Structure 1
Amino acid sequence: MKKLFFTLILFSSVLLSAQTKNDTDFAADLKNTFAKSTDCVNDFEKILTPAEVQSLNTTLSAFEKKYIYKIVIITTPSYKPFNSFEEFAMDIDKFLSKDPRLDPTLLIMVSKTLRQIQVLSVDFIKYKLNNEETQNIVSTYAVPELKKGDYYKALELASNEFMKKLQPN
């Protein structure tokens, strides 16, 4: 819990200071932030309670231990200095994939402020979870709850559906 709290504080300071730094400095700070965290849930936008973060972390960690698939959830209030939320998500995914401790099979990025969600997955699970199925899970389970403002329930429902799809038949 202390690690997560430290990571959240560090990322918040990175976001605040990133507006005056160039892209290279921001990328370096971001890499340092994620290098210190191996949690499945990183709530940088602080839209979840500590209990909700813990609950999601517990569920996703247990799933990872049992099935080897790592699902990572990241919330963020901004995508700056990147040009788009999608570009930011892809850059985060590319960075995380370089470290086996952090490498997500499925990355879920959410922003309450920007009203956006992005889900990225590695190619080797496409036979279990293709883009159409991913879009269906997001639109059926996450989006209705996001519209209600219940970010925890949206992430929990979507994560549960992703986990069902990734489990062996």
Structure 2
Amino acid sequence: MKKLFYTLVLLSSVLLSAQTKNDTDFASQLKNSFSGSTDCVNDFEKILAPAELQSLNSTLNGFEKKYLYKIVVITTPSYAPFQSLEEYTLELDKFLSKDPRLDPTLLIILSKKLRQIQVISVDFIKYKLSTEDTQNIISTYSVPELKKGNYYKALELASNEFMKKLQP
């Protein structure tokens, strides 16, 4: 199943020199990272407080149980070993889609360090959530809060708007 890809660069992109590693190394790193986690929110960059992490996770898990759309949020400080956050997001989405417990309908990747956000969704929700809708939600709700450094509120507001769009 092809995925709809959308990239929004928030402020300025920081170029990182990434070491080239093969895909199996990346897959094993991801497997170790996600092996025990089926949570909707994975804060690898440690930018959310424990209460914020739990609250956002509860909201997204509740939405998934009610509407069967899984929204996954991941924070990461780096896109290594890949050349861009776009490439990292696509490979991560491929990896997650192999496990039905982790397969996201909507995948949000946020990096405080890189000052970037990526949103990728499956094609079958395009009629409910277009590329323009996604861009508007990120620009209107997330970007102002991200500029203030309020990452939890940015993710919460965007997630709430995505959930409104996906509801029947």
Q: How far off is 1:33 after superposition?
A: 1.7
Does residue 25 in structure 1 map to residue 25 in structure 2? Answer: yes
Q: How far off is 1:142 after superposition?
A: 0.4
Give 1:127-142 correspondences, 5 Å limit.
Answer: 127-142=127-142
Q: Over aligned residue pairs, what C-alpha RMSD do you find?
A: 1.3
Of Structure 1 and Structure 2, the greater strand share is in 2
- Equivalent in the alignment of 2:9: none
Does residue 79 in structure 1 map to residue 79 in structure 2? Answer: yes
Give 1:12-161 correspondences, 5 Å limit.
Answer: 22-23=21-22, 24-161=24-161
- State the identity %: 77
Gaps of 5+ in 2: 1-17
- Equivalent in the alignment of 2:10: none
Q: State the TM-score, normalizing by the size of structure 1.
A: 0.85
In the aligned structure 1, how far is the partner of 2:20 from the partner of 2:106? 30
Q: State the TM-score, normalizing by the size of structure 2.
A: 0.86
Which consecutive aligned stretches of 4+ in structure 1 deviate over 2 angstroms post-superposition?
19-24
In structure 1, give the amino acid aligned to 2:30: L
Q: How far off is 1:153 after superposition?
A: 0.2
Q: How far off is 1:30 after superposition?
A: 1.3
In structure 2, give the amino acid aligned to 1:22: K
8 Å Cα contact 2:19-2:81 kept in structure 1: no
SS in 1 for 2:31: helix
Gaps of 5+ in 1: 1-18
* Greater RCO (CA < 8 Å, at least 6 residues apart): 2
1:67-90, Cα deviation, whole Å (9 max, x unpaired): 000000000000011010011011
8 Å Cα contact 2:89-2:118 kept in structure 1: yes
SS in 2 for 1:37: coil
In the aligned structure 2, how far is the partner of 1:22 from the partner of 1:75? 21
SS in 2 for 1:120: strand
Q: How far off is 1:36 after superposition?
A: 1.9
Q: How far off is 1:32 after superposition?
A: 2.7
In structure 2, give the amino acid aligned to 1:85: L
Number of corresponding residues: 150
SS in 1 for 2:73: strand
